[in-house]
Structure 1
Amino acid sequence: MSQTDLTWNTALLYPAPDSPELESDLASFDALAAAFRERYFEKIADQDSAAILAAVQEYEALQVRMAKPFCYAHLLFAADSADETNRALAQRCSELGSSLSQQLLFFDLELMHLDDRGFESLCNLPESVPYVHFLTGIRKFRPYSLKENEERLLTRKDLTGVNAFTKLFDELSASFSYRMELDGEERDFTGEELLSLLHHPSADVRFRAQTTFLERHAEHGIVFNAVFNNMALDHGQEMELRGYATPIQPTNIGNEIPDEAVEHLMSVTEANYGLAQDYFRLKAKMLGMDKIRNCDMYAPVAEAEKQYSFDEARDMVVSSYAQYDPDFGRIVGAFFDERRVDVLPRTGKSGGAFAMGISPQSPPYLLLNYTGTLRDLATIAHEAGHGLHFVLSQKQNMLNYHAPLPLAETASVFGEMLLTRMLLEKETDPAVRKSLLCAKIEDIIATTFRQTVLTRFELRLHNERQAGLLSNDRIAEIWLEENNRLFGDSVEAIPAYRWGWSYISHFIHSRFYCYSYTFAELLVLALFQKYREDGDGFKPGYRRLLESGGALPPADTARLAGIDITAGDFWQKGYDVLKDLIEELREIV
């Protein structure tokens, strides 16, 4: 494939950032929002149910129209945040989005505060069925809402508050290049290229790569300290204004999971930290080390870690989905055929990987930073799963399009399992099977145990910030304490790891998102076990789960595939699967 084929084709959305089509859309929004406000502001309570439903549908149509240009701007900025045109468009959309939110937020508030009789009448309309989950979701925030003018002020100050700090974090992180010697040559690396060296066979290279990456962040410690402190302070003050009891409570309400259930999920995970420590000791044995360091956690266990060309990786991922369901393979293949994937790392491009679902009417996109490792191969399967989920949920309306956070990782993690099992079934070489098992076990550890570590750290950061400014030394102490609970005496943290918190974008972009990975991983382990037991009989229910998007609460969505997440031992079942994988590996070792 050419280099051009490895970048995404955003012309499927708009011809160019200076196109008349984009300008026409962006220029229309103020008038559309103003007209909507004129029709409905302080009038919803006086409308009959049919008129309110018509307003909801009009609001939905507005959301669809706005999603396309705003997501387009985000895609351009993610691909190259150093480009002035992209930066200007992203800033314009940020400011316009804030203005539109201020004009339209009254609608949620008025729906939220409908009297019980009016709300029940609205939900009982047959035509309201596709909107009931959206409406009841809004209703749950009624005890924590403020007056319309106060809500507008909060939205307005976000533009120069949390949104500005988020933009600063993104631009600073994307601007970094890293200089390090490799194979006798000193050269520049992107962050993704450097982190891929954590899979290098040399322990010295792994140590220097992680140290170089983290020390680059340490050079800007003043900025990262300001970003994290101010984000936590802003959130804490807003929680106080709204009357929430804990920093995580609004996330849990939005996820439709009680605080107690989230705490139970994390407690069960922490009770199984010993499994991770058993694996880390086994990994040390495989590497011929007394104890691994955290920079060795993803070290290859084969003499030569296999590298995959992107063409090979793409074909394997598409094949793994097609073996499960030919239609799934067609949907995943279309991302590559239609150039809706940006593949290679480069300076100015966002790190990590993501899938962007825009609306039921627009095609989703994937961002990768592919460097050829087995982990990168799994990442393609992961993001392709997100993309598949976005395509299948296009059966829903815009207000139900996005799956709730606890289920947002379901298709992605399931896709990784499909790929792993396909590779294991084809592979007869014990050394390669060992590498595949290690990769899967490490992935489960990363998406369950590590995500609980991140959530505990984030909670402590927010709680302690309420008492005053946190120094980088104190943030590092919290970070290392939570990580060491997972590591125990099985892993030694390298000195630079005290800065390991500074680059994790979920803390900035999606507050308390991380436990959703734990939820999804354990759910998928249960789903995949059911698939292996039920075979083709499992597939219709799983497809319905993905097609449901955000139309149902998480527990009801899981039931579509025959899974009861409320069962007392549900979370432990996932860790029993992990234990079996570790034992399978131990037998090979």
Structure 2
Amino acid sequence: MTLPLSRPAFDAEPKGAKALGTLPDWDLSDLYAAPDAPEFSRDLAWLETECAAFAASYEGKLADLDAAAMLDCVRRYERIDVVAGRIMSFAGLRYYQNTTDPSRAKFMGDAQQKVTDYTTPLVFFGLEFNRLDEAHLGNLLAANADLARYRPVFDRMRALRPYQLSDELEKFLHDQSSVGASAWNKLFDETLAGLTFEVAGEDEALNLEATLNLLTDSDRAKREAGARALAGVFEGNLKLFSRVHNTLAKEKEIEDRWRKMPTAQTARHLSNHVEPEVVEALRDAVVAAYPKLSHRYYRLKAKWLGLEKLEIWDRNAPLPTEAPKTVAWDEAKDTVLTAYSAFDPRMAEIARPFFDKGWIDAAVKPGKAPGAFAHPTVTEVHPYVMLNYLGKPRDVMTLAHELGHGVHQVLAAGQGELLSSTPLTLAETASVFGEMLTFRKLLEGARTQAEKKTLLAGKVEDMINTVVRQIAFYDFECKLHAARREGELTPDDINALWMSIQAESLGDAFNFMDGYETFWAYVPHFVHSPFYVYAYAFGDGLVNALYAVYAEGDAGFQEKYFEMLKAGGSKHHKELLAPFGLDASDPKFWDKGLSMIAGFIDELEAMED
């Protein structure tokens, strides 16, 4: 049965919430005091006026500007970016706190429409800038060091030159963006947030986050009940999810075709400032490693659980020797801050305000978006972290991950709005490194062999989820977009594409229940950010290599690490990794990171002897 898009029928507090302690909520007043704050209206009015004034000052005139005038132009553009970003950060964060609240949805929709309308006059800037003669631009940059600082931004803009359309078409695409992909994104988000799941054995209906959480329960019957409830509700909503994916994939294909993008992945590679061959080397290395990673680990896990075959609900099951544990919020906070501080006290100092100043929204609440993220907002404010904290040991690692993003975003803010934004491939570096620091700290404190085994197994599963699962997701997206170019996809078509990569990535240790073929439906990255997912594997592999350098006692590692994070998007990955003696364009680079995962599995196998 298709569930209505209504407020979820479950209590605000999940079971066991009191054991977690007081969970923090966001204080968004550093952005704006309230939706009706005069500052919000003032900024919207300024944005409308300044965008029009910017176009009047510069449209058709960029080629005539000297270096000083071009710098003024870029700085005005950057200021507009800050104000628009502040407006949309406030509207978006309020919305994600409760996506089923019509007033919040309207507020965000109205803000998005106004920002889109007001910034339409700016479309000329990138197009006209890309038409500047190369020698002329080189002379401008040589004449003014402050302008030359923006070279990485200009390089990324000019990488799009072969794919830009006419000014009129670019303005049209900008104008209709609020009713294109972003509208389908909202429909997807609101649908997910509104789903409820009747789980056998539960007294009340659960939301998506709480139902997914059952898949890590120590009780196998609960895990199965959760998986079957997920499958049933996904099946009931599959026509809608299929329509969302069909529409977005077709819209992307049309735009890619008009832009003459050679592949569906090209736009993502350009935005990540990463070469396609580097991504393919990563993808190929991970796929080749499936047998020694996921296939081998899951056969080992089946043995631990005393099963001939794992079912899909056993994939993230705790070990039989693992005592069920609820980690209170204060303990999670202390664990992560202690691990950060042991690496470098400055890292904990940067992370602490997230806990003390309302920069984290942690509780599971009705209508709240599922998952977790760190949003940088704008460089003159600070990031905000969203969690759905349920006290699982994995939730502690999620906290460490998102705080890593937050630390990175705080450090990169010094670059200014245009240069602080880090490509997704590098944006996952600090988050995964934060997880690794927390894991290593916990492993050092393990008192028994059983505790060490539990920690190692948990880390291996997290790494498989980050590397193997995300590359499998990437392959699924590649197949989905290629198939959509041939015509409309039925729900069964998409299900078949999903299953075509599952056995390959997970291995022969699994049975796949009826209904698992629908589990592509809830993955938000497919909808919000096509081909985003390989960034997780990129980040994990990069961090494993980085951590090996750190563990070897590299002199001045901390200073080099902080400098890398402070760089934000101002340097290419090759330049950022050079001080550590690393090069992601070397195909053998990825084998180093994958060998770390294999080494952990070796340790687990040795414990069986």
TM range (shorter): over 0.9
Partner of 2:550: 531
Cα distance in 1 for residues equivalent to 2:229 and 2:580: 45
Of stretches 144-153 and 579-588 in structure 1, the one that deviates more from structure 2 is 579-588
Residue 25 of structure 1: which of 37, 40, 43 is its match? 43
Residue identity matched to 1:245: P
Kept after mapping to 2: 8 A contact 1:239/1:247: yes
Cα distance in 2 for residues equivalent to 1:311 and 1:285: 35
Kept after mapping to 1: 8 A contact 2:97/2:368: yes
Partner of 2:256: 239
Kept after mapping to 2: 8 A contact 1:82/1:175: yes
Q: Are 1:471 and 2:470 counterparts?
A: no
Kept after mapping to 2: 8 A contact 1:544/1:560: no
Instruction: Please provide the CA RMSD for this pair.
Output: 1.5
Kept after mapping to 2: 8 A contact 1:181/1:187: no
Q: Are 1:74 and 2:79 counterparts?
A: no
Residue 77 of structure 2: which of 59, 63, 67 is its match? 59
Residue identity matched to 1:68: R
Secondary structure of residue in 2 paired with 1:491: coil
Q: Are 1:152 and 2:171 counterparts?
A: yes
Partner of 1:366: 385
Secondary structure of residue in 2 paired with 1:150: helix
Cα distance in 2 for residues equivalent to 1:498 and 1:99: 41
Cα distance in 1 for residues equivalent to 2:482 and 2:119: 28
Residue identity matched to 1:474: D
Shift of 1:188: 1.9
Residue 253 of structure 1: which of 249, 270, 273 is its match? 270
Q: Are 1:491 and 2:510 counterparts?
A: yes
Shift of 1:250: 1.4
Shift of 1:81: 1.5
Identity %: 35
Cα distance in 1 for residues equivalent to 2:526 and 2:561: 31
Cα distance in 1 for residues equivalent to 2:453 and 2:47: 55
Shift of 1:554: 1.6
Equivalent residues in 2 for 1:74-223, closer than 5 Å: 74-124=92-142, 125-182=144-201, 185-223=202-240
Cα distance in 1 for residues equivalent to 2:585 and 2:504: 27
Cα distance in 1 for residues equivalent to 2:139 and 2:277: 32
Cα distance in 1 for residues equivalent to 2:567 and 2:514: 46
Shift of 1:491: 1.7
Kept after mapping to 1: 8 A contact 2:282/2:587: no
Partner of 1:423: 442
Partner of 1:435: 454
Residue identity matched to 1:405: L
Shift of 1:215: 2.1
Residue identity matched to 1:243: K
Shift of 1:100: 3.3
Partner of 1:306: 325
Kept after mapping to 2: 8 A contact 1:558/1:564: yes
Shift of 1:488: 2.5
Q: Are 1:450 and 2:434 counterparts?
A: no
Q: Are 1:357 and 2:360 counterparts?
A: no
Cα distance in 1 for residues equivalent to 2:325 and 2:448: 13
Shift of 1:516: 0.7
Secondary structure of residue in 2 paired with 1:500: helix
Kept after mapping to 2: 8 A contact 1:455/1:515: yes
Shift of 1:5: 5.4
Cα distance in 1 for residues equivalent to 2:511 and 2:140: 58
Q: Are 1:414 and 2:415 counterparts?
A: no
Kept after mapping to 1: 8 A contact 2:67/2:147: no
Q: Are 1:42 and 2:60 counterparts?
A: yes
Of stretches 111-120 and 92-101 in structure 1, the one that deviates more from structure 2 is 92-101
Kept after mapping to 2: 8 A contact 1:541/1:562: no
Of stretches 453-462 and 170-179 in structure 1, the one that deviates more from structure 2 is 170-179
Cα distance in 2 for residues equivalent to 1:297 and 1:396: 42
Cα distance in 2 for residues equivalent to 1:82 and 1:256: 36
Equivalent residues in 2 for 1:240-389, closer than 5 Å: 240-274=257-291, 275-301=293-319, 302-389=321-408
Equivalent residues in 2 for 1:495-534, closer than 5 Å: 495-534=514-553
User: Aligned residues, how many?
Assistant: 587
Partner of 1:462: 481
Deviations along 1:350-378, one digit per CA (max 9) or x if unpaired, are: 00000000122111100000111111110
Kept after mapping to 1: 8 A contact 2:21/2:330: no
Of stretches 440-449 and 424-433 in structure 1, the one that deviates more from structure 2 is 424-433
Cα distance in 2 for residues equivalent to 1:347 and 1:14: 23
Residue identity matched to 2:88: F
**Pair 1:214–1:18, CA change in 2 (3 A):** farther
Cα distance in 2 for residues equivalent to 1:189 and 1:431: 33
Shift of 1:200: 0.8
Kept after mapping to 2: 8 A contact 1:461/1:475: yes
Deviations along 1:188-230, one digit per CA (max 9) or x if unpaired, are: 2121111111111122211211221232122111111110000
Unaligned ranges ≥5, structure 1: none
Kept after mapping to 1: 8 A contact 2:22/2:329: no
Kept after mapping to 1: 8 A contact 2:281/2:587: no
Cα distance in 2 for residues equivalent to 1:453 and 1:396: 35
Partner of 2:567: 548
Shift of 1:451: 0.7
Report the TM-score, using the length of structure 1 for normalisation.
0.97
Shift of 1:559: 2.0
Shift of 1:588: 2.3
Residue identity matched to 1:94: Q
Cα distance in 2 for residues equivalent to 1:430 and 1:389: 35
Residue identity matched to 2:520: W
Cα distance in 1 for residues equivalent to 2:60 and 2:520: 45
Kept after mapping to 2: 8 A contact 1:176/1:347: no
Secondary structure of residue in 2 paired with 1:495: coil
Residue identity matched to 1:338: K
Residue identity matched to 1:323: A
Shift of 1:45: 1.3
Residue identity matched to 1:27: A
Shift of 1:259: 1.7
Residue identity matched to 2:128: E
Q: Are 1:582 and 2:601 counterparts?
A: yes
Shift of 1:99: 1.5
Cα distance in 2 for residues equivalent to 1:181 and 1:438: 29
Kept after mapping to 2: 8 A contact 1:404/1:554: no
Shift of 1:158: 2.2
Secondary structure of residue in 1 paired with 2:263: coil
Kept after mapping to 2: 8 A contact 1:542/1:560: no
Cα distance in 1 for residues equivalent to 2:567 and 2:509: 42
Kept after mapping to 1: 8 A contact 2:294/2:507: no
Secondary structure of residue in 2 paired with 1:366: strand
Shift of 1:97: 2.6
Of stretches 394-403 and 118-127 in structure 1, the one that deviates more from structure 2 is 118-127
